[in-house]
Amino acid sequence: MEVPRWLPLEANPEVTNQFLRQLGIYPSWQFVDVYGSDPELLSMVPRPVCALMLLFPVTEKYEAFRMKEEESIKAQGQEVKPGVYFMKQTISNACGTIGLIHAIANNRDKIDFEKDSSLKKFLDESVPMNPEQRAKYLETYEAIRVTHESSAHEGQTEAPSIDDKIDLHFIALVNVDGILYELDGRKPFPINHGRSSVDTFLEDAVEVCKKFMERDPDELRFNAIALAAA
């Protein structure tokens, strides 16, 4: 069976914010750029921050790390709270949209949805599902696919061809019940990165991003955007 393919999204707050508006989310939370990890640059990010999305290159070093991480968690186990909303990625290039869904789904209590929000409808219907069922449901959910498609054309760079091989990938970092989770639809489960809080979430999430950068010190293609109170 052929894997469905979407056009990739840019890690650009204008694009992601417009995407969320089209999905029926009031702009009380907005994505903003995170320009760097030192305290001065982090102090420019409005607070509170409820999610962070990282765009990073999928390299051989990263893939080797990912396989090792998965084996180690399967062997040792980890705590994942039942309230964590996680979905698999079965659509090629849909990682930006899945990152957005992860960011919003795990902060549903804070987000203001419009009455007929297509994203709220998707979340309400998919909460009882398992991660694989959520992925399959997204494949058939036209309202999100169409919005993704138009957002993919909104970026500052020309959208690549739908058949281009893209080696950049989005993940979301969220705080659920005081634990920082990495949510990546290419992985079999959420990754528990330890304790966090509303006040320290941005700094904690940036520490996780730094590890991604340290694994690939020759790479420059990293980009982080934070979902912050507007």
Q: Give the catalytic positions in this structure.
A: 95, 169
H or E element: which one contains 169? Answer: strand 168-176
- Dihedral angle sign, alpha carbons of residues 184, 8, 103, 120: negative
Other beta carbons within 10 angstroms of residue 227's beta carbon come to: 27
Give the C-alpha separation, 59 to 173, whole Å: 20
How far apart, in Å, are the Cα atoms of 64 and each of 58, 68, 99, 119, 204?
A: 10, 6, 22, 34, 24
Give the C-alpha separation, 143 to 141, whole Å: 6
